Structure 1
Amino acid sequence: MVRLNVLLLLTVMLCSLGVVTSQHKARQLFQALEVQQERTRQLEVEFGQLQLELSTWGTAPRIEKIAVEKLGMRTPDAETLLPSLPTGGASR
């Protein structure tokens, strides 16, 4: 009877150690998951900011400003413009 009690006691101790170990591992994994979710949120915010910045860089007024200031381009005078007519590529 004493052997059975000792065997059962050892079994209970091993099971309890297994439960404690698995709970500890689950808590560690949950903490790592929360860290990664926060990182995901940060990256989504940064991505949105970069998309906004990209759309700002490509606006027509900014492109015109660069063309005038850095490239020295200007709008041609009205009298120097030659109107062009479409060529008859398609038959009617």
Structure 2
Amino acid sequence: MIRINMFLLLAAVFCALGIVTSQHKARKLFQALEAEQRHAEKLDVEFDQLQLELSTWATSPRIEKIAREKLKMHTPEAGRVLTASTGGVAR
């Protein structure tokens, strides 16, 4: 009878240690998950900021200004403009 009681006590101790270990691992994983979610939120904010910056840099007036000032480009005369259509070239 004492052997059975000792075996059951030993089994209970091992089960308790297993539960403590699994709970500790679960808490660590949950903390890692929360850290990754915070990192993902920061990346989302940064992505939104970059999208806004990209839309600001790619505005038509800014591109036209750079083309005129830095690249010395100008709008061609109306007679030199060719328009392409599905039926061919139109003037």
TM range (shorter): 0.7 to 0.9
Aligned counterpart, 1:29: 29
Aligned counterpart, 2:20: 20
- What is the aligned-residue RMSD (CA, Å)? 2.4
Higher strand share: 2
**CA distance in structure 1 between the partners assigned to 2:9 and 2:70 by the alignment:** 84
Where do 5+ consecutive residues of structure 1 fail to align? Answer: none
Equivalent residue pairs, number: 86
The two structures have a TM-score, normalised by structure 1, of: 0.79
Distance 1:83 1:68, change over 3 A: closer
Structure with more contact order per residue of length (Cα contacts < 8 Å, sep ≥ 6): 2
**Cα distance, 1:75 vs. partner?**
4.4
**CA distance in structure 1 between the partners assigned to 2:50 and 2:67 by the alignment:** 24
Identical pairs, percent? 61
The aligned runs of 1:1-92 (5 Å cut-off) are 1-75=1-75, 81-82=78-79, 89=87
Where do 5+ consecutive residues of structure 2 fail to align? Answer: none
